[in-house]
Structure 1
């Protein structure tokens, strides 16, 4: 094995490419050599990204390529957050990785409101990680024949898909026809895995059966009707990953004491801002800032950060009742897992352990359900806090006080 300096010189001389370094050294040495090359070529001090507790051996080949180090994000905690869910019934400290001052403080205030209201309810209402290949046919006559075959042969597709995985289950196949294109939206229960890779591999096997038994030709394994990492109404309607709802009823005196506004005022802010304002803007998310909690917990727990796009697909409802305030957050497409991917990295594993959801659940899928319920309750805490700040006109002063 060559040392990092020698390897860096070989890259600069053209003998090796940056991506070749992992074949010539252990992950730590290859990472250091790559950092030396990039630092010199860009005249940038990269010592900071190299000063990390993360062992490149834990990340290279599973979480990242061409590694040069790590970026650190401050990690805060909000809570305790009491959640009475279908999968969890406990208080949790919510880890939030963020660089946005005032965010953790705001969610923490929301958690105190939920505690004063005896906790939030939460339920996962649907599990369905999707992948939607697109096939070419000659015309609509062939398209109808393919759709008919799919509807009559779901067992054959299920068998082919489930042969590729020991845990995933094919739960639905929904066909869509656009001219000479046939889309098949496969939905899977992927248990405790987020499941995108699982769904892709299983769908490839099922697509081969479609090609063998019909006149359809596969054009792309993903036809964007899935829909992954892009704003899409289909995810808001049909869901993706986990659909999860959290709600709470808060006595009026708690609302006024903790949020410094009346229940009627908070309900009006939610209606005019989150519902009417979002509708006028053509938004797919009818909420105040659910993405803040989703993104913060995603970064802390090793989720796919780009799937915050779908995770922010949420509707917040608020109703002023006679003696209390009712509030809910419904996240249609929250894609989370407690095994695989970035969840295996040490700091992310620690955050999952903090939540009590690391690894596979018993029964399978229970830990990812718990994580989804906790995130939904955390989003609810964040919504209540921000709506209260707006209703009491304290938003700008809070940000000024906390450095924003």
Structure 2
């Protein structure tokens, strides 16, 4: 009987998807024949998309192997990458191979907290002070409100920012192996309702944009959001010259003038060659929220010439990833996570370190190609 019910539900899901697709075809005048061929059953994606009409396929490749000695990521990994940009995976693979010749990549997570920042309306400065005093003196009550919403999350920090009749609270949560945005939102709402009852402050929005979610923000650059990760490599002088056809000094100068000076003149948050490229490809492959590429774009790339060797490092202040929940439930994404041993509990920090190592490889290869004057020719050679 249960099997028959499952088949019935599956039939409804397929029928509904076909009906929506037909309606979309009629409205747009476009035959969605390729979208209809997608390999994902509609009930599989029920928690990830509404009004499903099919799937979009993105080419998937891998870069590596990359040898890592991280706080969590130890060993060699083939990294799955989903992209439509030709030459990207080849470039990342080159960077990984060169770093392997130099002894591999070292990576470490230095911070781990997901944020949500509600904004309250208060009566005046005096009222604002009373609300802040109440929050400071009732942390146990606030922790209890959080505990009532989740067994995995924990409030680790509260920062308060008063401005006139607005009071912002940036709440930072440990969220286990979930990316944690939903967890942080639900817990923050519970905290806000408690504060409203006890102080008379009014929650205007559970997100007051000081979180700051899916937007480039200096507060995330400085304090971090999600995982703050560093990855580094030191590449011997002879490896730089033989494998990259340039010198450490030339790569250092490119990084200084392009990434540091150029980014400063442009006013960007972050200073890197193309960190978002690697972040987008690995996020799409592993079922992360693609909008969190914004956090990855705030990467800081540094290079130094150390006795002729090249030292290169990336600081990523906002690697917002999870290995449970969300898109990690989908079958292809589960397989991609399994390729790097990052599926399920206890793996989120490991994934963040692999993300940073992959970004480091892409940064190295691109900076070296520009230092050697090969960027355009590489794309032309690969027919992109």
Return the offset for 1:215: 2.4
Equivalent residue in structure 2 for 1:44, among 27, 30, 41: 30
Tell me, yes or no, if the aligned pair for 1:154 and 1:173 is still in contact at 8 Å: no
**Could you say what secondary structure the match of 1:148 adopts?**
helix
For residues 74-111 of structure 1, what are the alpha-carbon distances to aligned partners after superposition, in whole Å with 9 as ceiling and x for unaligned?
Answer: 00100001111111211111111000011000000001
Does structure 1 residue 221 correspond to structure 2 residue 206? yes
For residues 105-152 of structure 1, what are the alpha-carbon distances to aligned partners after superposition, in whole Å with 9 as ceiling and x for unaligned?
Answer: 000000101110111000000011000100000111111221122122
For residues 306-339 of structure 1, what are the alpha-carbon distances to aligned partners after superposition, in whole Å with 9 as ceiling and x for unaligned?
Answer: 1101121110000001141110000001100000
Q: For residues 361-380 of structure 1, what are the structure 2 equivalents within 5 Å? A: 361=346, 367-380=347-360
Give the direction of change, closer, same or farther, for the CA distance of 1:201–1:261 in structure 2 (3 Å limit): same
Q: Which residue of 1 aligns with 2:59?
A: 74
Separation (CA, whole Å) in 2 of partners of 1:371 and 1:49: 30
Runs of 5+ unmatched residues, structure 1? 1-21, 362-366
Return the offset for 1:37: 1.3
Separation (CA, whole Å) in 2 of partners of 1:221 and 1:340: 22
Q: Which residue of 2 aligns with 1:398?
A: 378
Q: Which residue of 1 aligns with 2:109?
A: 124
Equivalent residue in structure 1 for 2:123, among 138, 141, 157: 138
Equivalent residue in structure 1 for 2:18, among 15, 22, 32: 32
Separation (CA, whole Å) in 2 of partners of 1:25 and 1:77: 35
- In the superposition, the TM-score normalised over structure 1's length comes to 0.92
**Could you say what secondary structure the match of 2:191 adopts?**
helix
Return the offset for 1:162: 2.0
**Could you say what secondary structure the match of 1:59 adopts?**
coil
**Could you say what secondary structure the match of 2:68 adopts?**
strand
Separation (CA, whole Å) in 2 of partners of 1:41 and 1:284: 41
- Tell me how many residue pairs correspond in the alignment: 377
- In the superposition, the TM-score normalised over structure 2's length comes to 0.96
For the aligned residue pairs, the C-alpha RMSD in angstroms reads 1.3
Q: Which residue of 1 aligns with 2:311?
A: 326
Tell me, yes or no, if the aligned pair for 1:24 and 1:30 is still in contact at 8 Å: no
Tell me, yes or no, if the aligned pair for 1:83 and 1:373 is still in contact at 8 Å: no
Runs of 5+ unmatched residues, structure 2? 1-7
Q: Which residue of 2 aligns with 1:17?
A: none
Separation (CA, whole Å) in 2 of partners of 1:125 and 1:225: 21
Separation (CA, whole Å) in 2 of partners of 1:178 and 1:166: 33
**Could you say what secondary structure the match of 2:316 adopts?**
strand
Tell me, yes or no, if the aligned pair for 2:158 and 2:172 is still in contact at 8 Å: yes
For residues 318-372 of structure 1, what are the alpha-carbon distances to aligned partners after superposition, in whole Å with 9 as ceiling and x for unaligned?
Answer: 00011411100000011000000100000011100011111112xxxxx000000
Q: Which residue of 2 aligns with 1:347?
A: 332
Return the offset for 1:23: 10
Q: Which residue of 2 aligns with 1:165?
A: 150
**Could you say what secondary structure the match of 1:84 adopts?**
strand
